[in-house]
Amino acid sequence: MSAAAEKHPKGLYVLFATEMWERFNYYGMRAILVLFLTKALLFDKVFASQVYGSYTGLIYLTPLLGGYIADRYWGNNKSIIAGGLVMAIGEFFLFFCGNYYDNAVIATPLFYIGLGCMIAGNGFFKPNISSLVGQLYKKGDSKIDAAYTIFYMGINTGGALGPIVCGYFGDTGSKGDFKWAFLAGGIAMLLSVVTQMLFQKKYLVNAEGASIGEAPANAPKFFQKIPVMVGFLFLISLLTIALVYIDIKVVSYLFWLLLACILFISFIIFSDSTLNGIEKKKVAVLFTVSFFVIFFWSAFEQAGASLTYFASENTERNLGFFEVPTSFFQSLNSIFVVTLAPLVAWIWIKLGKINKEPSSPFKMAMGLMLLALGYLWIATGVKGVGTGVKVSMIWLVGMYMMHTFGELCLSPIGLSLFNKLAPFKFASLLMAVWFTANAFANKLAGVFSALYPEGDKVTSFAGYQISNLHEFFMFFVFMAGLASIILFFLSRKLKGLMEN
């Protein structure tokens, strides 16, 4: 293949930069979130875990709305700008909240408004930027997979830098400094919006040179004015604040809502008489893998909650010359993605050459197994260790490395499976299933994180009792290990259904 054929459009690098700054903002804030809640706002870990679960759960649910509205009214470009601005506003609310952390009457509303803005803004940013990547290319262009890989590097460059920069300024050991992390996140988000605004006209074009991401021609113009859009998103933020607040404080309903979403979507698809048997079998494969990824992400996303408590309280972070801030550990996953992804891609190519590349469901089962092994590693490190004792950071670092290998086996494969198998008519609806599974997993991650052992506290989930760190981590070994084994057994059957 000639060098020219390999060349990617410049627009890809614009989207790379836009997404990098946005992920910097998202992961930088996430690195601080439970620390801020427990150390500055003085909530307990159970409550902080619940906030984390409801927040990140809704982060994956609002993209359904953001994708829908962009397709019909706003187009991708403007949705990204409005969503990005609202996320920046969210960070600034959190910054003010951080200023008044010791006054609950002021800090509490500011905190929830900030969180609501992040959720609503993300819902309009994330699905639309991902969709633009594919639109830069002709349908079926073989460079699309590579484009998404490059884009994934952008995600993780931001994911690596955010926790480090925000952690450096905000996670200093002084309660009053957390606000700087939110400010840094807000500035990064503004950089993202500015990048998009400066370069979208010139570089976001398709293979024929026509602009992409524009609003549909017949959409009402009034609703496409940025202040109107931001105002609308602000209303959605208020709604999401209410949703988060009710879920945490009144009645935990989010699981049921998500379950209802999945059942409703499956009813729509399976009752559609225009789909033939083969298509329905492919859809069944997608539902099955969505079910299994719940076990993956609910254990993996402990990163922002229980594993951060562990980094803070049970990990020796003092290197003698430098004490590593707790939040830095949240950048490890992204650092490992950037460094290990080429190795994993190389392994698949090598195996492919000798006709031994595993099927997608098999790779996903491997991902779950690697996740279980990561937890087994850290469970070994804390065997016999009391809740207040600190262990070496190699346990956490090694675990994040194994988790990242797991992510690289499961996450990109899952997404491309949706692209390949979803019947055209239901492509977006099935993407919604994938997002809803992620939302479910993140909400569940909050529930699991609340089981984190402390003092003599004994917690339990589905009959499994947890009274120390070893038992806590073994819980994830059993859950992910069991899910992996079942998926290994199912993978041959799923492969058959896919190839039909």
Q: How far is 414 from 370, CA to CA, in rounded Å? A: 16
Per DSSP, the three-state class of 394 is helix
- The nearer residue to ligand GLN, 128 or 438, going by C-beta atoms, is 438
Cβ nearer to ligand GLN, comparing 159 with 374: 159
Secondary structure class of 139 (helix, strand, coil): coil
Residue 459 touching ligand GLN (CB under 6 A): no
Residues between 313 and 342 with contacts to ligand GLN, criterion CB under 6 A: none
Please state, in angstroms and rounded to a whole number, the distance separating the CA atoms of residues 227 and 82: 8
Q: Which is nearer to ligand GLN, 34 or 341 (CB)?
A: 341
**Toward ligand GLN, which CB reaches closer, 76 or 411?**
411
Closest to 102 in 3D by CA, of 32, 173, 179, 28: 179
The number of beta carbons lying within 10 Å of the beta carbon of residue 357 is: 15
Q: Which of 41, 86, 155, 497 binds ligand GLN (CB under 6 A)?
A: 155
Closest separation between CB of residue 357 and ligand GLN, Å?
22
Residues in the interface with ligand GLN (CB under 6 A) total: 6
Measured from the CB of residue 390, what is the shortest distance to ligand GLN in angstroms?
28
Looking at the Cβ atoms of 192 and 411, the one nearer to ligand GLN is: 411
Cα dihedral 219/222/225/229 (nearest 10): -80
Structure tokens at 58: 């809704």
User: What minimum distance in Å lies between the beta carbon of 96 and ligand GLN?
Assistant: 26
Site for ligand GLN in 363-402 (CB under 6 A): none
Task: State the residue number with the nearest CB to ligand GLN.
Answer: 155
Tell the smallest beta-carbon distance from residue 241 to ligand GLN (Å).
23
Nearer to ligand GLN by Cβ, of 121 and 159: the residue is 159
| Closer of 335 and 474 to ligand GLN (Cβ) | 335
Question: Alpha helix locations (H) across 324-393?
Answer: 332-353, 360-381
Give the Cα separation of 107 and 97 in Å (integer): 5
DSSP string, 229-284: HHHHHHHHHHHHHHHHHIIIII---HHHHHHHHHHHHHHHHHT-TTS-HHHHHHHH
Least separation, in Å, of the C-beta of 65 and ligand GLN?
18
Please report whether residue 438 would count as binding ligand GLN according to CB under 6 A: yes
385 DSSP assignment: -
Under the criterion CB under 6 A, does residue 297 sit at the interface with ligand GLN? yes
State which residue, 112 or 405, has the beta carbon closest to ligand GLN.
Answer: 405
Pattern 405-424, ligand GLN, x by CB under 6 A: ------x-------------
Show Cβ contacts of residue 422 under 8 Å, excluding neighbours closer than 6 positions. Answer: 282, 283, 286, 430, 431
Residue 242 CB coordination number (10 Å): 12
| Shortest spacing between CB 343 and ligand GLN, in angstroms | 18
Contact status: 296 vs ligand GLN (CB under 6 A): no
Q: Does 24 bind ligand GLN (CB under 6 A)?
A: no
Secondary structure of residue 2 in the 3-state scheme: coil
Binding site for ligand GLN (CB under 6 A): 23, 155, 159, 297, 411, 438
